[in-house]
Amino acid sequence: MDHFNYRDGQLFAEDVPVAEIARAVGTPVYIYSTATFARHFQVFDEALAGMDHLICYAMKANSNMAVLRVMARLGAGMDVVSIGEYQRARLAGVPGEKIVFSGVGKTAEEMRIALEGGIRQFNVESEPEMERLSRVATELGKIAPITVRVNPDVDAKTHAKIATGKSENKFGIPISRAREVYARAAELPSLQVVGIDVHIGSQLTDLDPYEMAFKKVAELTETLRADGHTIKRLDLGGGLGIPYRRANEAPPLPFDYGEVVRRTVGHLGCEIEIEPGRLIAGNAGLLVSEVIYLKEGEGRDFLILDAAMNDLIRPAMYEAWHDIIPVIEPDVAAEQRPYDIVGPVCESGDTFAKQRPLPAMGEGDLVAFRSAGAYGAVMSSEYNSRPLIPEVLVDGDRFAVIRPRPSVQEMIDRDVVPEWLAE
Ligand code: LLP
């Protein structure tokens, strides 16, 4: 569910007409709904009710400071994967004890800053990382709380580029080696084992892989406890999918996911952490773009938009589907025509959709990409020297630009031409 609906013949973001924002801020523009972020957080919170839990928003999905403030005010913890993300979480007002540090390549510098600033736990992904963390913590005279990310070797049945729980993926340590790795952790100075971490992939549309992975984690919890380790916390990762195609997709609901958690690990008396990103942010955002040209080709009509693959890379990178709808509500009886919907970038991959049925559209019309709140703005680039596009946050009947559009000159001015090339 989200708060982008047609009302009085046009698309609204909560109580603000999308066209009004487009007029005020220009296009392309990302528009987010505060109420939708909050709702998704609450849905997870309710799904885990009765279990001691912390929802650590995976900010890689959308790390705008205003969005992080919304999440922090709801009481969310955060899952971070770089010191940049760690600093964002802290500046958004999230205390260190609610921040978990994930990622396969944490540097000593990142470990140092997090240990000094305060951290809930490091989700350690390899033995060399564990050794380094032990060294850094010892140097600082600190104790580093850790979980080890185990790779349960289950097939998440999602796009290959975002599956992480198979043994061929770079993530975590094989679950079969967990006992030795935990034994090593117990020997190393300045580390304190607090639990187990698992994350099997993103955009999961089936609960079975979760069920399998969490069962393995439950077994491992008992084994490690028998070995003498303290396992008081289970980080179950993120990954629950969202309906990108509203017409024919109904991924599992957080409530049912909560039931799987309860059924598989609920009896262990552990504190449960989850790290949802997409399900919190995905449907809380639109990308709004204007049609620059209607190009009628041979047997194919192209809608050339002012947004491009640099603004929203998901279709080019993962063949991802985003629903694309007109901002002016089409008449129900309006005839639909198939369009190829493309951006202005000089690559054939700059195609958002092929043969997508839409009512007749033309120059100056606005379209909205749904489900663009996660992995949209954060994955954008300035390819083709296109400045990053602005982000707007709506809250009820008010809206604010939460990242302005830089001018072309500002973009160019970041480059430095050395003196010897100046003449
Ligand atoms: N925790 C860890 C350790 C992760 O690696 C990820 C996502 C998450 C949590 C959050 O997963 P989510 O709940 O958002 O599915 N750029 C891709 C998605 C990459 C996901 C990477 N890791 C996309 O646009 O589909």
Give every CB contact of residue 361 below 8 A, 6+ residues apart in sequence. Answer: 291, 294, 303, 326, 339, 367
4-31+282-413 and 103-274 share one fold:
no
Q: Nearest to residue 221, comparing CAs of 256, 169, 182?
A: 182
- Ligand 1: atom nearest CA of 204 is 15
Which amino acid, one-letter code, is at 229?
Answer: H
pLDDT per position in the chain (423 positions), as tens? 789 999 999 999 999 999 999 999 999 999 999 999 999 999 999 999 999 999 999 999 999 999 999 999 999 999 999 999 999 999 999 999 999 999 999 999 999 999 999 999 999 999 999 999 999 999 999 999 999 999 999 988 887 777 777 777 788 999 999 999 999 999 999 999 999 999 999 999 999 999 999 999 999 999 999 999 999 999 999 999 999 999 888 899 999 999 999 999 999 999 999 999 999 999 999 999 999 999 998 889 999 999 999 999 999 999 999 999 999 999 989 999 999 999 999 999 999 999 999 999 999 999 999 999 999 999 999 999 999 999 999 999 999 999 999 999 999 999 999 999 988
Q: Phi/psi of residue 160, each to 5°?
A: -55, -35
Q: Which fold has domain 103-274?
A: TIM Barrel (3.20.20)
Distance 242 CA to ligand 1 centre (A): 12
CA 49 and chain centroid, separation:
23
Q: Give the integer Cα–Cα distance in Å for 40 and 62.
A: 14
pTM of structure: 0.97
Question: Would the CB of 165 count as within 6 Å of ligand 1?
Answer: no
Nearest residue (CA) to ligand 1, atom 9: 238
What are the residue numbers of the active site? 346
Burial readout 75-114 (b: 16 or more C-beta within 10 A, e: otherwise): ebbbbbbbbebbebbbebebeeebbbbbbbebeeebbbeb
Q: Identify whether the C-beta of residue 282 lies closer than 8 Å to the C-beta of residue 322.
A: no
As to burial, measured by CB atoms within 10 angstroms (0-12 exposed, 13-18 middle, 19+ buried), residue 269 is exposed
Annotation: binding site for pyridoxal 5'-phosphate: 239, 275-278, 375
Angle, alpha carbons 27-33-35 (nearest 5°): 170
- Ligand 1: atom nearest CA of 379 is 16
Question: Would the CB of 373 count as within 6 Å of ligand 1?
Answer: no
Secondary-structure class of domain 4-31+282-413 per CATH: mainly beta
Question: Would the CB of 102 count as within 6 Å of ligand 1?
Answer: yes
Nearest residue (CA) to ligand 1, atom 16: 375
Q: What ranges do the domains of the chain cover?
A: 4-31+282-413, 103-274
Q: Identify whether the C-beta of residue 14 lies closer than 8 Å to the C-beta of residue 37.
A: no
Distance 309 CA to ligand 1 centre (A): 19
Burial readout 15-35 (b: 16 or more C-beta within 10 A, e: otherwise): ebbbeebbeebebbbbbbbbb
Question: Would the CB of 322 count as within 6 Å of ligand 1?
Answer: no
Q: Is 109 helix (H, G, I), strand (E, B) or coil?
A: helix
Examine residue 28 and say whether the peptide bond preceding it is cis (omega within 30 degrees of 0): yes
- ipTM score assigned to the predicted complex: 0.99
Q: Give, for ligand 1, the residue of 67, 148, 171, 202 to mutate: max count of ligand atoms closer than 8 Å to Cβ.
A: 202
- Ligand 1: atom nearest CA of 314 is 24
Which amino acid, one-letter code, is at 387?
Answer: P
